[in-house]
Structure 1
Amino acid sequence: MKAFTALVHREFIEHRGAFLTGPLLLLAIIFGLVILAFTVGRVDVHLSGAMLTVVPLIVYELGFLGLGFGWSLYLAATLFFYCADGFAADKRNNAMLFWKSMPVSDFKVLLSKLVAAITLLPFTVFAVALLSGVLLFTVAFVTMLINGTAGFAALGDIVVIYGQVALALFTVLLAGLIWYLPFIALVGAIATVVGRWAIPIALLLPTIISALEWVTLGGLHPFATRTWAFMEYRSAAPATNYADNWIASLGDRFEPNMSAARFDGFAFAGDLLGGLDWTQVGIGVVFALAVIYLASEYRRRVNDN
């Protein structure tokens, strides 16, 4: 177990530039942009009446959710590039003979890379995303405090909003990782064979399989097959009706009665996780382990010869 933990830690050390240093640099840029937005008048904080208590909370909700969405896009791109690079790194940097001399199987080495891709690495980015929310609130609150448009009485509401949005972001991260696990594993397995060319090959593979089905079984065209329909379903992001309904109700928050509910992270999480196809999630886990095992056998046999 200690050896496996060390392998996962090694992945973090070797790729901390993409999963820690890079996000921290982006966070510094975002922090600067937020400061400019609130200090040069791009965000109007001169409010009165009901708007004084409602608008700042809405701005913070939407701002934090928007930051979370941006970080999720960054993480998705970085993870797939990591799989294309990390699973082939040992061969590229001539460390293969060293790892072959260790009492660690090829399957355990590749499995450690997959575990790093769905635990330590994404949750490092998630921690930076949470920090970005703290910085967003700090700048917004201090600016409004200076302008007399905010008070310390709103701190309780802000803390609640932060917790609700953080829960929602964590749920999105968890659901995305388990839903896209087979794609992550597939890119890594292909990278074991072809290196960094794994991403374009992984993108073309469904088209090739769909075209093969069209040629052998018929159909209108290669993109009207059962394979293609399944890939469209399996590659679509997990959806939730709660988010759509909440966004549609934002206008009601500006009405005099202000009866529209705030963002509810628990309702969002329940709706998102409840809507997942857990059968497909289970199949995806089995598929991920299978392709990693096949990749480890290829790695073992090729480097033994």
Structure 2
Amino acid sequence: MKAFTALVHRELIEHRGAFLLGPLILVGILFGATILAFTVGRVDARFSGQIFTVAPLRVFEVGFLGFGLGWSLYLISALFFYCADGFAADKRNNAMLFWKSMPVSDFKMLLSKLAAALTILPGVVYGVALLSGVLLFGVAFITMLINGTGSMTMLGTIAGIYGQVALSLLVVLAAGLLWYLPFMALVGAMATVIGRWAIPVSLLVPAIVSTLEWVTLGGLHPFATNTWRFIEYRGALPETPYLEHWFTSDQAFSSVAFASDLIGHMDWTQIGIGIVFGIAVLYLASEYRRRVNDN
């Protein structure tokens, strides 16, 4: 167990640039730009205070959810490149013989990379996202104090909103990782076999399979097949009617209601199939890694 934990930690050390340093730099730039915008007069503090006076709670809720969406998109792209690159890193840096000499099987080695992609790596990005929310909300609240529209009561309400949205983002993160697990495992398994070429190949494979179905079984075009419809279905998280209803209402955001709605609309059968599929392709990749001589 200690060896497996060390392997997961190794993934964070090797890829902290994309999952820790990069996000922290982005937060620093965004925070600095926000401060600079207020100090050099690019943003009128009086105008900004008027915005928060009109509907301050809704502005905080929508703003933090927007930040969460942006960080989710960043995480998806970072995990894709991690799986397409990290699973082939041992072969690329000629460290394969060293890792093969460890008392850890090839399957456990690949499983540690997938575990890192599901736990510690997205956890770090989630922590940075929470930090960005604290910094930007702090700037907004100080602006309200300058304009005389802020109070300690308002600060307590904002903290409650922050907790509600932060919890909902955590639920979305967990649900998304479970939903996209088979994609991450497949890209990682391909990277184990063909290295960095997994990046373009993994983007082409769905189109090739859909085209083969169109050629053999017919259809309007290659993107009107059962294969492509399934890929579109598995490529998007389930819709949550709660968000649409909340956005057009004056109710406060509820993380419990949102989480219940999201969990209730998840296709858990597909998630179970995806977990089995992910473990299976990783096992096949580990067998390839163990048997091929050029490793």
TM-score w.r.t. length of structure 1: 0.91
**Structure 1: 5+ residue stretches without partners:** 250-259
Q: Distance in 2 between matches of 1:171 and 1:2?
A: 28
Q: Distance in 1 between matches of 2:262 and 2:212?
A: 34
Q: Which residue of 2 aligns with 1:255?
A: none
Q: Is the 8 A contact 1:175 1:238 kept in 2?
A: no
Q: Distance in 2 between matches of 1:303 and 1:99?
A: 15
Q: Distance in 2 between matches of 1:141 and 1:172?
A: 27
Q: Which residue of 2 aligns with 1:213?
A: 213
* Deviation at residue 173 of structure 1 after TM alignment: 0.7
Match of 1:47 among 50, 68, 71: 50
Q: Is the 8 A contact 2:49 2:143 kept in 1?
A: no
More deviation in 145-154 or 20-29? 145-154
Q: Distance in 1 between matches of 2:17 and 2:294?
A: 32
- SS of 1:45's equivalent in the other structure is helix
Q: Is the 8 A contact 1:38 1:139 kept in 2?
A: no
Is it true that 1:268 corresponds to 2:271 in the alignment?
no
Deviations 1:56-87 (A, max 9, x none): 22222122111111111110100000111100
RMSD of aligned residue pairs (Cα, Å): 1.7
* Deviation at residue 235 of structure 1 after TM alignment: 1.0
Q: Distance in 2 between matches of 1:134 and 1:15?
A: 25
- SS of 2:55's equivalent in the other structure is helix
Any residues of structure 2 matched to 1:157-172 within 5 Å, and which?
157-172=157-172
**Structure 2: 5+ residue stretches without partners:** none
Identity %: 70
Change in CA separation of 1:109 and 1:76 when aligned onto 2, cut-off 3 Å: same
Any residues of structure 2 matched to 1:78-117 within 5 Å, and which?
78-117=78-117
Deviations 1:255-276 (A, max 9, x none): xxxxx21111111111111111
Query: What code does the residue aligned with 1:228 have?
Result: W
Query: What code does the residue aligned with 1:110 have?
Result: L
Q: Distance in 2 between matches of 1:30 and 1:95?
A: 38
Deviations 1:187-213 (A, max 9, x none): 101111111121221121112112222
Q: Which residue of 2 aligns with 1:153?
A: 153
Any residues of structure 2 matched to 1:293-304 within 5 Å, and which?
293-303=283-293
Q: Distance in 1 between matches of 2:88 and 2:260?
A: 38
Any residues of structure 2 matched to 1:1-305 within 5 Å, and which?
1-39=1-39, 40=41, 41=43, 44-47=47-50, 52=53, 55-249=55-249, 260-303=250-293
Q: Is the 8 A contact 1:164 1:264 kept in 2?
A: yes
Q: Is the 8 A contact 1:84 1:196 kept in 2?
A: yes
* Number of equivalent positions: 292
